[in-house]
Chain A
C-alpha cells in the first residue's frame, strides 16, 4: 500500500466501486440513500474503454484512446487487464494485435510505447499502465463527487490468482487508491440485484453469466439468505463480444469485397475501422431491429455503407450464441445441478445487451427461472453497470471498517464454513394421504450456522399434528407424454420448480423431492381450526440442530435438539 492509500482512516475514506475489465471499466459511487450509481467520466461515458493512448506525450484514456486505435495503434495500449501479475509465457496476446504489443520485460509484461514528447520510446510495464488507468478513473470519480477518492472495492474474475490480485492491489495503490476488498465479478452483479429495495432475501440458485468483450465467465452461485457461495465457474475465451464483432466484420467485409474486390481485413488501418464500426453496429442491433454500418474510406479511399437487420445478425452469429448456451449448460452440470434447480439467471457484461442471448437462455431454463436481462425483464439493471454497482455497494458497506477488521472478516477462517449437503424439510400430507410430501425448509448448500422458519398449514379440522423433520434430495423426473401433472405442493416455494420446459414438448421434466432419513419427530397438540404451525430449524456450526415447533400465535411450543454428528 502506498503511504497515501494506507494513511486514510475510516473516517476520511471516500470509497468507490470499480469494475476493471479487459475492454471497459466503470466506476460507481453510492449516493446518500445507499443507492449505487455508475458515474460518467468527463467524456460522458459510463463504460470507459480500458485503453490508454499517447500522442506527443499527451495521454488519452477511454473512448478518446479507443479512436486512436486507427491512426496511432502502436502507441495505444488495450486489453491489458489479464496481463497483470502474469508471466509472458502464460498470456494470450491475440487481442493486442491491433494495438501496442506486449513483450517480456524483467519477468513481467511491458509495452514499448512513445509516451513522452520527442521520438524516444519507453518501456512501460503492465502494472504501470494499470496504475495510469486507475489514476484516470480516480480523477473522474473525484471530479464527479467533488471529493478526493481514497479507496475502492474492485471486481475481479473468479479465476484470478493470488499473484494477479497482488499485482492489481499494487497497481491501484500506486495510483493512490486503497483497495478495501477485491470481490468476484459474478458476486458483485448478484449483490447489485439483491441490494435493490424491492428484492427479498431468499434461498435461490443463481447463474451469473458475465459476457464481456474478450472473455465470458459463468458462475453458479448458491444464494442462501443473502450469503453467497460459488458452486461452479467456467471461463471461455473463444466465445465473447469480440467474436460477435468478428462475425459482423466478416459479413461486411464480404459485402465490400463483392463490390470492390478489395479485402479490408488485409490492411491494418481498414481492419481497425471495420472493428470499431462492427462494435457500434452490434450495439445498435441490441436496441433496434435494423442498424447501419458505414465507414468513410474503409479501404483505398472507398467509402462503405450498408445495413443489417437483427434477424440476419442472429443467423450469422448463431455459432457464437450456441457457444454461450453450451457454456451455461455445462457449468450448471458442473455444479451438480439441473436447469430446473436454477431460480435466476443474471446477465452481466456488455455483450449481455444482445436480446438473442437472453431469449436463448430463457429457452434453456424452465419458465420458473427468471432471466434478468434488459430484453427479458423490464426491471433489469443495465448489465454493463452491474459489477461496478455491486462493488460500490460493498464499498459503502465496509468503508467504515478498519482495514484490519476487513482483513479479519474476509479471512478463510470466517469464510470457509460447512454447507449442508442435503436439504432439510418437513413432511406434509399429500393428496393421496398415507405418504408424506417433502417441503424444504433449508435447502442444500446452505452455509451453517443457518436458521429458517416456515409456516405449515395444520389440518383443516385442527387437533394434534405430527411434524416429521427429514432430510431430502431432489432428482429430475422425466415423464413421457400424457403425464399426470403432479403438484408436489411446494409451488410457492421459490426454490422449487415443477414446470416442464418448452423445448421438449414430448416429455416433461420435473423436480421431485425424495425423502431421505428422518431427523426428528415432534407433536403439536390441540391446534385450532385452520391455524398454522411455525417450524423453526436452526443448524449450528457443528451441525447440531435445534427444532422448534409451535402454533402460530401460541406461546411455548415444542423444542428439541439433535446432537452434532
Chain B
C-alpha cells in the first residue's frame, strides 16, 4: 500500500533488563480465524488471485510486478535522450566535423554503436528543436548556427550506414581500456576483461560474439571464446582518418599520390589493429586462471587415463588366463566322463548279450525238457522243426521279451506246461502280427 497509517502516540521506552534473541521475542500465536468468502471483484482481488494462484508472497509479488513495470518504463524511456551538453562542444565549429564526437553531439554517448536508427532520429529532432538558429534568434542571441551545423553533420554521418560504420571504426570513445596487470589482479579479472572484449566484439563481422564468461565457465566456452578472437574477422576500416584528397582536377599526380598514401595508411592501421587485438587476447589469456586450471585438469586426466589403461590391460590379461584355465579344466572333465560312459555301455552290452544267450539256452532246454512235445524218442525231423520254430520266435522277440519268456519257462519240467507257455507266446506274437498264423506250428 502506498501510504502507511500513522500512529502519533509514542512507543514506550525499552524497560531495563529486557532481552530477546536478536531483539525479538515471540510470545503468542494468533487466535483462530474465521473462514469467509471474499468477493471476487476489483483490482485488489485480482492481485490476491494472482498471488494465490501462483503461490507468491506479498514481497515476491511486489518484486515481480515491479520488474514488469520497470521493463515497460525502460522501453518507454529508451527514447529519452537527456544528456548535459558540454559548453565546449556547443562552441564547436562544423568545419572540423572529422574530429567531433557525433554521438555526443546528439546526446547519445551512452548508446554509441548500440544506438538504433530510431533513437538517432529522435535525438536529432530533439536537438534541432532546441538548437535551431531561429530559436536562438528569438532568444535574442547572435545568429550563431555553428552547433546546429554540427548536429546536422552528426545526423548525416550517423544515419548513413556506410559513413556510420566508418565513424564507428575509429570511435575511440567506445573503446574500453584493457585492465593493467595490477587492476586485473585486484579487481574482478573476468568482469574487467569481458567489458574490453564486449567493446572489441562490435567490430566482428560475425555476430553474436561469444562471451568471455566468468571463472566457472566450462572449457568449451573458454575455447570458443579464444578461438573466436584469434580468428577475429573485423570490419574495422580506417577511411575516416584519411587525409583529404584534393578534389580538383589540377594536379592529378598529387591526387593519386594522396590516394596511395591513404591506402597505405589504412592498410598499416588495419594490420596494427589486428596486431593490437592479438596482443590483447594474448594478454588476457596469459592472466587467465581458467586456462591454467584446464591444463592441470587435462594433465590430471591424462595421467589418470594412462593409469586406467594399464590397470585395464592387466585386468584383461588376468581375465584371459583365468578363462583359458577354466576351459581346459572343463575339457578334461568332459573327456573323462565320456570314457567312463563308454566303458559302462560296453559292459552293459556284454551282460545283455550273455543274458540273451542264457535265455535262449533256457528256451531250447525247455523244449528239450518237454521232449520236443512228443512221447517217446523224438525223431530228428521233429527236433529239427521244433528247434527251428524256437529260433524263429527267438528272432522275433527282443531282449526283454526273451527274458520274460525265459523266466516263465525256467523251472518248468512238465511237457504240457511248457507247451502251454510256448503256445501262449506264439498266440501273442500272431496277434501282434509279428509272425504269421501257421508259423511255428511245432510250438502252437
Question: Which residues from 140 to 177 on chain B have a C-beta closer than 8 Å to any C-beta of chain A?
Answer: none
Interface contact B12-A466, CB-CB below 8 Å: yes
Residue of B3, B4, B5 most packed against chain A (CB within 10 A): B5
Query: Chain A residues near B23 (CB, 8 Å)?
Result: 522-525, 558
User: Which B residues are in CB contact (< 8 Å) with A191?
Assistant: 41-42
Instruction: Give min CB distance, A308 to chain B, whole Å.
Output: 40
Which of A230, A454, A543, A561 is within 8 Å of B30, CB to CB?
A: A543
Closest partner residue, chain B, to A203 (CB atom): B5
Which residues of B are found within 8 Å of A417, using beta-carbon distances?
35-36, 38, 52
Q: How far is the CA of A418 from the CA of B35 in the complex (A)?
A: 5
Is B8 a contact of A422 with CB atoms below 8 Å? no
CB pair B11 A188 closer than 8 Å: no
Select one of B7, B13, B53 contacting A408, CB under 8 A: B53
Chain B residues with CB under 8 Å of chain A are 1-15, 18, 20, 22-46, 48-49, 51-53, 57-58
Contacts of A448 in B (CB 8 A): 33
Q: In the complex, are the beta carbons of A424 and B30 less than 8 A apart?
A: yes
Contact A227–B29 (Cβ < 8 Å): no
Q: Which of A227, A418, A436, A489 contacts B12 (CB 8 A)?
A: A436
Please tell me if the beta carbons of B22 and A560 are within 8 angstroms of each other in the complex. Answer: yes
Q: Would you give the 0/1 interface string for A415-443, flagging 1 where the beta carbon is closer than 8 Å to chain B?
A: 11111111010111110000011010100
B42→A409 contact, CB < 8 A: no
Q: Is the CB of B30 within 8 A of A519?
A: yes
Which residues of the other chain, B, contact A420 by a CB distance below 8 angstroms? 30-31, 33
Give how many A residues have a beta carbon under 8 Å from the other chain's beta carbons: 99
Tell me if A428 and B44 are in contact (CB < 8 A): no
Selected from B4, B22, B49, the residue in CB contact (under 8 A) with A409 is: B49
Cβ A409 vs Cβ B53 within 8 A: yes
CA distance A221 to B10 in the complex (A): 32
Least CB separation from B40: chain A residue: A410
When the two chains form their complex, are residues B28 and A562 in contact, meaning their CB atoms are under 8 A apart?
Answer: yes
- Tell me, yes or no, whether A311 is within 8 Å of chain B by CB: no
CA distance A437 to B12 in the complex (A): 10
Known: A408-B53, A464-B14, A465-B10. 5 other contacts (CB 8 A): A225-B1, A228-B38, A418-B34, A420-B30, A456-B10
Q: Is A419 a contact of B26 with CB atoms below 8 Å?
A: no
The CA of A286 and the CA of B398, in the complex, are separated in Å by 135
Q: Map CB proximity to B onto A526-545 as digits: 1 under 8 Å, 0 otherwise.
A: 00000011100011100101
> A547–B24 Cα gap in the complex (Å)?
9
A245 to B1, CA, bound (A): 46
Q: Does A403 contact B (CB under 8 A)?
A: no
Bound Cα distance A154, B40 (Å): 13
A466 touches B14 (CB 8 A): yes
CA distance in complex: A417, B52 (Å): 10
Give Cα A489–Cα B2 distance, bound, in whole angstroms.
23
Q: Contact string, A448-467, partner B, CB cutoff 8 A, digits 1/0? A: 11011111111110011111
Given contacts A460-B10, A523-B18, contact A565 B38 (CB under 8 A): no
Q: Is the CB of B9 within 8 A of A428?
A: yes
Answer yes or no: A492 CB below 8 A from chain B CBs.
yes
Residues of A within 8 A of B48 (CB): 227, 414, 447
- The 8 Å CB contact of B42, one of A226, A455, A464, is A226
Q: How far is the CB of B215 from chain A (nearest CB, A)?
A: 30
Q: Are B44 and A439 in contact (CB under 8 A)?
A: no
Residues of chain B within 8 A (CB-CB) of A517 are 28, 31
A533→B5 CA distance, assembly (Å): 12
Kindly list the 7 A-B residue pairs having the minimum CB-CB distance in the complex, ordered from nearest.
Answer: A226-B44, A560-B24, A418-B33, A464-B14, A409-B49, A565-B29, A428-B9
Stretch of A44-52, A92-100, A169-177, A179-187 contacting B (4+ beta carbons < 8 Å): A179-187
Q: Are B38 and A415 closer than 8 Å at their CB atoms?
A: yes
Across the interface, A492 reaches (CB within 8 A) one of B1, B6, B13, B51, namely: B6
A–B pairs, 24, beta carbons within 8 Å: A225-B44, A227-B48, A228-B38, A394-B41, A394-B42, A410-B40, A415-B37, A415-B38, A419-B34, A420-B33, A421-B34, A437-B9, A448-B33, A454-B7, A458-B10, A459-B11, A465-B10, A471-B31, A489-B9, A493-B7, A523-B20, A543-B29, A558-B23, A565-B29
Q: What's the nearest-Cβ distance from chain A to residue B166, in Å?
A: 47
**Residues of A with C-beta under 8 A to B25:** 520-522, 560
Whether, in the assembled complex, A63 has its beta carbon less than 8 Å from a beta carbon of chain B, the answer is no
**Residue of B3, B7, B30 touching A426 (CB-CB under 8 A):** B7
